[in-house]
């Protein structure tokens, strides 16, 4: 606390004061008593030095206990604020939020709960005090470029997307292992990070690689650019270098439910694989007024109409689509606390601000948005089983080989605490036993399981990029 005016104590400042006269007389010291005193003091000092490590450990343990208690109190304050929001008690919500802001000071920002609590507190603040006037939404091109930047950092910071890509690729390889014409449809191409590993694996396939077509779906590019094509060019260069016949086509769409089967130009004789990594949950909102079907139903009907050999699905293993705000908030708070802890372990404690910003966007969407504006509607695997089954898709077990290799991959890219488990033919990536992401494979009930002929026609296609070795 700052103090005004003069200090409460000052040394004499009279220049004419005799320094010697100002000093008090030295006390008379009795030699025997003094020797005994200093000897005793030295012994006490030596004993104290021996006990310093124990004292430091005790102080550290005390600080941990205090921080844990502060973290628990902060969690309760955030949940109380969310409960007040759900009840429409704005005054109570404001009071709990103010207490939460004050409690943040007692929690280390370096801890998992400290970092995640900052994001949830900020999201609650934004919900209770929306910006006025509302800022204009970012231009789609700028928003997509920003998202791509954060996505790349999230990919590099932890094992989550690596696990997703590896597991999906393994399922695709097994589904098309004897096929000579393969067509992969990627629901979210991004920078194409998933496909170099698959192209290289196909190049080493016994009997030679197939002819590979890749259709990448992504948002429209800004004027003067073609981001989808740029990714395709890089992949084509890689395919040429490893002697894989390759063709790429980009499909620009703002939403997956805008894509129609005819846009994908699937040809007779192709083995089709559809890949969805962290995309389907954005389509499970209730159908718009006057519309009979939800977006997810339209997309799954489109997938089934392609008769794919395999549909690979990776989703967050969470339940953030509950109708009640408090339930949704509580689930998200504990889920992202685990994700932040695991991210911290994967980075060796260094952290990655851009990767955390990627997660912060999800948190803000879950907490602040309602209705059609909310996109992050994560659901657990059991609910995806039901939904995909109703769409006529049946599960394809991910085998022991995929489990073993996924565990090796996660062990290489992250610290202790991450685990990969098998659950009814699906794989989950977890943190200390809590599942965080699930990977599953599906097949259309009437998919064509016969091999493509080497000299069979692949039909007419209109690709942006093609190469052959």
Rounded Cα distance between 439 and 23, Å, is 81
Domains of the chain with CATH codes: 53-131+319-372 (no CATH), 140-317+378-448+463-467 (3.40.50.150)
Rounded Cα distance between 158 and 225, Å, is 30
Task: Give residue 144's pLDDT.
Answer: 66
Q: What pLDDT digit, counting tens, does each position of 305-361 carry?
A: 999 999 999 999 999 998 899 999 999 999 999 999 898 888 776 678 899 999 999
Task: Give residue 444's pLDDT.
Answer: 87
Q: What pLDDT digit, counting tens, does each position of 10-58 carry?
A: 434 444 444 444 444 544 544 454 444 444 544 555 555 546 668 777 7
Q: What pLDDT digit, counting tens, does each position of 158-175 carry?
A: 899 999 999 999 999 999
Q: What is the DSSP string of 213-256?
A: EEEEEEPPPPTT--HHHHHHHHHHHHHHHTT--EEEEEEE-SSG
Rounded Cα distance between 116 and 364, Å, is 12
Per-residue pLDDT tens, the chain, 469 aa: give them.
Answer: 444 444 343 434 444 444 444 444 544 544 454 444 444 544 555 555 546 668 777 776 777 676 777 888 999 999 999 999 999 999 999 999 999 999 888 887 766 677 899 999 999 999 999 887 666 655 555 566 788 899 999 999 989 999 999 999 999 999 999 999 999 999 999 999 999 999 999 999 999 999 999 999 999 988 888 899 999 999 999 999 999 999 999 999 999 999 999 999 999 999 999 999 999 999 998 777 666 688 999 999 999 999 999 999 999 999 999 889 999 999 999 999 999 989 888 877 667 889 999 999 999 999 999 988 899 999 999 999 999 999 999 999 998 889 998 999 888 877 689 999 998 899 999 999 999 999 999 998 765 554 444 433 333 333 356 555 4
Rounded Cα distance between 431 and 338, Å, is 7
Task: Give residue 205's pLDDT.
Answer: 94
The two structure tokens encoding residue 391:
């769409």
Q: Which residues of 195-208 are buried (b: 16+ CB within 10 A; e: fewer)?
A: beebbebbbeeeee
CA 45 to centroid of chain Cα atoms: 52
- What end-to-end distance do the CA atoms of the chain give, in Å? 74
Task: Report yes or no: 81 and 100 within 8 Å, Cβ to Cβ.
Answer: yes
Rounded Cα distance between 221 and 240, Å, is 26
């Amino acid at each position: 606390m700052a103090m005004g005016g003069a200090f409460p104590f000052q040394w004499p400042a009279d220049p004419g004061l005799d320094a010697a006269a100002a000093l008090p007389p030295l006390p008379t010291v009795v030699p025997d008593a003094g020797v005994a005193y200093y000897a005793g003091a030295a012994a006490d000092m030596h004993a104290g030095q021996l006990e310093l490590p124990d004292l430091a450990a005790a102080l550290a343990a005390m600080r941990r206990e205090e921080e844990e208690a502060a973290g628990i109190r902060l969690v309760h304050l955030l949940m109380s604020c969310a409960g007040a929001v759900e009840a429409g008690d704005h005054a109570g919500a404001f009071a709990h939020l103010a207490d939460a802001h004050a409690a943040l000071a007692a929690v280390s920002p370096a801890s998992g709960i400290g970092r995640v609590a900052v994001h949830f507190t900020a999201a609650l603040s934004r919900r209770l005090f929306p910006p006025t006037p509302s800022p204009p939404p970012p231009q789609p091109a700028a928003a997509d470029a920003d998202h791509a930047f954060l996505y790349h950092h999230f990919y590099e910071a932890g094992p989550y997307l690596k696990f997703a890509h590896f597991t999906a690729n393994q399922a695709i390889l097994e589904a098309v292992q004897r096929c000579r014409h393969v067509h992969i449809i990627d629901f979210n191409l991004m920078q194409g990070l998933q496909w170099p590993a698959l192209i290289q694996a196909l190049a080493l396939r016994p009997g030679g690689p197939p002819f590979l077509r890749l259709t990448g779906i992504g948002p429209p590019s800004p004027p003067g650019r073609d981001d989808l094509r740029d990714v395709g060019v890089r992949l084509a260069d890689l395919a040429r270098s490893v002697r894989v016949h390759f063709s790429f086509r980009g499909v620009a769409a703002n939403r997956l439910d805008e894509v129609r089967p005819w846009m994908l130009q699937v040809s007779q004789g192709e083995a089709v694989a559809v890949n969805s990594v962290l995309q389907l949950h954005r389509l499970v909102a209730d159908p718009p007024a006057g519309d009979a079907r939800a977006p997810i139903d339209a997309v799954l009907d489109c997938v089934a109409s392609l008769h794919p050999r395999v549909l690979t699905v990776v989703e967050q293993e969470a339940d953030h689509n509950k109708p009640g705000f408090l339930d949704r908030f509580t689930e998200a708070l504990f889920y992202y606390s685990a994700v932040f802890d695991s991210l911290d372990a994967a980075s060796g404690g260094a952290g990655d601000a851009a990767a955390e910003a990627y997660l912060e966007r999800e948190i803000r969407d879950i907490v602040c948005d309602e209705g059609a504006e909310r996109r992050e509607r994560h659901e657990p695997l059991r609910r995806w089983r039901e939904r995909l089954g109703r769409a006529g898709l049946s599960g394809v077990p991910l085998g022991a080989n995929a489990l073993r290799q996924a565990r090796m991959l996660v062990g290489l890219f992250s610290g202790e605490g991450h685990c990969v488990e098998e659950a009814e033919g699906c794989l989950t990536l977890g943190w200390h036993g809590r599942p965080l992401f699930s990977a599953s494979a599906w097949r259309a009930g009437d998919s064509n399981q016969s091999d493509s002929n080497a000299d069979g026609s692949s039909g007419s296609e209109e690709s942006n990029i093609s190469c052959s070795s």
